[in-house]
Structure 1
Amino acid sequence: MSAPHPVLLIATRKGAWLLHGDTERQHWRLDGPHFLGHIINHLVLDPRDGRTLLAAASTGHLGPTLFRSTDLGANWQEVAQPPAFAPAADGSGRSVKHTFWLEPGPADEPGVWYAGTSPQGLFRSADGGDTWAPFSCLNDDAQYREWMGSEQDGTPDGPKLHSIQIDPRDPAHLYIAMSGGGVHESTDGGRSFAPLIDGLDVVEGFPRDQPTFHDPHCVRLCPSRPDRLYQQNHCGIYRLDRPATTWQRIGDSLPEAVGDIGFPLVVHPRDADTLWVFPMDGTAVWPRTSPDGRPAAYRSRDGGNRWQRLDHGLPTEQAWWTVKRQAMCADLEAPLGLYLGTTSGEVWGSADEGDSWTCLARHLPEIYAVTIGYPRD
C-alpha cells in the first residue's frame, strides 16, 4: 500500500481550497475554489474513514449551513438538517449565526460528529454530519446562558463555542471552551458540565471567579497524554495536568517584547511536552498583528518552561499578518510538519517541526482555518 498523501483543508472568508501534498511534503497542488464567495469557518476530513468531508459555511442566500462531500470535494451536498437551536415555547429564542467548530467523534463511534456554534451552542450528529440536534444541557441552561453573556460581547465575529476535545480513553469525557464563558468539562457524556477556570487570568477589573469574563482562545488535549491540557487564552498561555483543577501560566517565559497573547496552539501528537504557539501583538488596542511586523512561531520542548523562536524563512520585517485560532495544525509524520494560514491569505509549511518555513500558497482570501487530512480511496 502506498503512503497516504496529505491534504491541507483551507477555510477562508471567501471560499475553501484544498492543498494536496506528495508523500515527501515537497510539492503541493492547489484545488479550488469551492464555495467561492461564501464564508467557510471550518473544513474537516473525517480521520476515521478518510472520505467524509464537512464544511461549515455561511452563505448569502442560505444563511448558516453545512455541506458534505464523500469524494474529496468533487461533489457537495447541503446537509439535511444543520445545527439549529430548539425554538422557545413563546416563539423566541436564539438563532445560529454560523457553525464555527467541527469535531469528529471517537474512533469507536463512527458517524458521530460534534459542532460548536456562534452564539455558543453544542450540537451532535450520529449520521456522518447529515442531521444535527442540540446536545447537552448547556445550550438552554439558565446558568450557562448567563455565563455566555450578550451576543454583542465584543468578540469581532460574535461569541462562540469551540475547542471541543474528547478524551480518547472515554467518549463520555468532554471539554469545551466558550468565548466568552470559560472552559468546561463533562464526565457524563454531556449530561452536565462544570467550569474549569481556576488559575486563569481575566481582563483587569473583572472577577476571576465568574466564567462570563473568561475568554479561552484555543484549548488542546494532548493525544499522547490525555490528562494534560494546554490553553491559549485572551490572558496568556496555560497548562493543566489532571487531576489538578488549577491552570498554570506557562507563557510568562516568552520574551516580554513578544508576550504570550495569541490564538492558535498546536500540540505534538506523540510528545506531550512539545507544543507550538503563534503570538500576536496584544498591547494597547489589540491590533491583532504580528509583534513589530515580524511573525514567528514559538516552540517549547519542556511543557512551556522554555520557548524557542522559529522564524527561519518567514518575513523579517513589515509583515503584519497573524494567525487565527483554527489556522495552525500539524501532520503525523516524523519529523512532524507544521502548517499555518495567515490573515493575508498565505499558507506556510514546515517539514522540520518549525525550524524552517516555506510559503506553499499565496493570494488567497483571509484564512480562517487550516486542518490536515489523509484521504483514502
Structure 2
Amino acid sequence: MNQKLRIGTRKGLFIFERTGHGQWRCSEPDFLGDPVSMALRDPRNGDQYTALNLGHFGVKLHRAEPGSREWKEIEPPKFPKSGEEDGPAVELIWELVPGGADQPATLWAGTIPGGLFKSTDRGENWTLIDSLWRRPERENWFGGGYDKPGIHSICVHPNNTRCVRLAISCGGVWESLDAGDTWAQTGQGLRAAFLPPDQAYNPVSQDPHRMVSCPASPDHMWIQHHNGVFRSEDGGHSWTELTDVSPSVFGFAVAVHPQDPNTAWFAPAIKDERRVPVDAKLIINRTRDGGKSFTALSNGLPQGPAYDLTYRHSLDVDDSGDLLAFGSTTGGLWVSEDQGDHWQCLSAHLPPIYVVRFDKQF
C-alpha cells in the first residue's frame, strides 16, 4: 500500500503519497490559505479530519469520507454555557485522536484553553469532559508557548480503551481509568527547571511539550519536556530524566517506534526565546537503548546555517517503524526510509508546518 503523509501548514493541508522507494507525489492543497492546526485519518474507518484556526472567524472542523476530497464542515468542540454566561472560546484544536477499535465512532480532542472533549458520533457532537475541567488543580495550570494552558497529547491505551492518558502545557500528566469519569495526576519525577528548587518536582506545574506511548507496549512512554527528555515504564506514573542527551535536552517533538519502546526520535533545539537548532545545524536525535545513548542523525539535512524548528506534532513514524517524516517552521519537509540514517527533502518551500501525520492502520 502506498503510504500517505498529511501535512498541516499555516496555508493549507498538503497530502504527500509515496509511489515508490524515494518517490513521492504531492496533491494540490485543500483549505489553501487557512491555518491547519490538526489533521487525522481515522485508521478504523478511513474518515478524514482537518481542524482550522481562523482567528477572528474562530475554530473550524471538517470531515471527509474515506478517499474523498469533499469536505463537510462539522461542529467543533465548544465549551458549554455556565448558567446564562457563555463558556470560554475554543482557541485551538491542538490534538485529535481516535478511540479504540471497540469504539468505532469515538474521537478525543484536546484544546486551548485546556479542555478535553469526546465525540461518540464521528465528530458530529462533542462533550466536554467536565470531570477534568473542574479539577481543583486546574487553577494552577498556566500557559507555556501560548497564553493559556492546552492539551496537546492524548494517549488511548490500545488494549484498554477506558485508560486515557494526556499531557498539558503547563499542567503535567493525567490519567483516567474509566474513560474520563475520574482523573488522577501522575507524572512523578518530571522536573521543571524554570521553577524554584522546592517546586521543581510539583507534578501540576510541569511543561511536557509532547507525550507519546509505544503502541505495542503502551505503558512505555516518552516525554519531550521544556527542559528535558523523560521516559516512563509504568504508564506515566513515574518518570526518569535522561541527562546524557546531546546537543540539547530542549525541543518540542518526540516519536516512538510502534513495536520497540526503546527506540525514539527527538528534534533538539536551543530553548526559550531563541528556539533554533543548536549551532544552526538541523539534526534528529535517536535512541535505540531506552535513552542510555543518543545518535545525532544529519545525513541529508542542512548543516548550516539552518534555523528550522520542529513543532510538537511535526515529527511522526509510520506503522513499520522505518519510515519517518518531520517538517519545520520554515517550510522544510524531510523523510527517511531507514529510521533516520538518511534523509530526503520533499520540499523546502511549504508554508510553516504545524502537523505531520502518516495515515496509519489499526
1:360 and 2:352 matched? no
User: Equivalent of 1:309, from 296, 309, 333?
Assistant: 296
Contact kept? 1:7, 1:375, Cα under 8 Å = no
1:326 and 2:307 matched? no
1:5 and 2:2 matched? yes
Q: Distance in 1 between matches of 2:235 and 2:320?
A: 30
Q: Give per-residue Cα distances to partners, 1:49-103, cap 9 Å, x unaligned.
A: 2x21001111256410210011445210101x21001111141531111211000
TM-score, length-normalised on structure 1?
Answer: 0.91
Q: 1:350 to 1:232 in 2, by over 3 A?
A: same
Q: Give per-residue Cα distances to partners, 1:158-216, cap 9 Å, x unaligned.
A: 43102100111111111011111111111121111111121111133341354442111
Q: Which residue of 1 aligns with 2:27?
A: 31
The one-letter code sitting in structure 2 at the alignment partner of 1:37 is G
Structure 1, unpaired ranges of 5+? none
CA-CA distance at 1:359 after TM superposition: 0.3
The CA RMSD over aligned residues, in Å, is 1.9
User: Equivalent of 2:58, from 60, 63, 68?
Assistant: 63
Contact kept? 1:6, 1:372, Cα under 8 Å = yes
Greater Cα shift, 7-16 or 83-92: 83-92
SS of 2:138 mapped into structure 1: helix
Q: Distance in 1 between matches of 2:209 and 2:181?
A: 24
1:102 and 2:96 matched? yes
SS of 1:48 mapped into structure 2: coil
Contact kept? 1:163, 1:220, Cα under 8 Å = yes
SS of 1:145 mapped into structure 2: helix
Q: Which residue of 1 aligns with 2:337?
A: 351
Q: Which residue of 1 aligns with 2:211?
A: 219
1:269 and 2:264 matched? no
Q: Distance in 1 between matches of 2:71 and 2:235?
A: 43
Q: Which residue of 1 aligns with 2:72?
A: 77
SS of 1:75 mapped into structure 2: coil
The one-letter code sitting in structure 1 at the alignment partner of 2:228 is G
Contact kept? 1:239, 1:248, Cα under 8 Å = yes
Q: 1:196 to 1:20 in 2, by over 3 A?
A: same
Q: Give per-residue Cα distances to partners, 1:99-128, cap 9 Å, x unaligned.
A: 110001111210111000011100011111
TM-score, length-normalised on structure 2?
Answer: 0.94
CA-CA distance at 1:266 after TM superposition: 0.6
Structure 2, unpaired ranges of 5+? none
Q: Distance in 1 between matches of 2:64 and 2:264?
A: 32
Q: Distance in 2 between matches of 1:133 and 1:242?
A: 29
Q: Which residue of 2 aligns with 1:280?
A: 269
SS of 2:166 mapped into structure 1: strand
Greater Cα shift, 7-16 or 89-98: 89-98
The one-letter code sitting in structure 1 at the alignment partner of 2:182 is S
Q: Which residue of 2 aligns with 1:294?
A: 281
Q: Distance in 1 between matches of 2:157 and 2:66?
A: 29
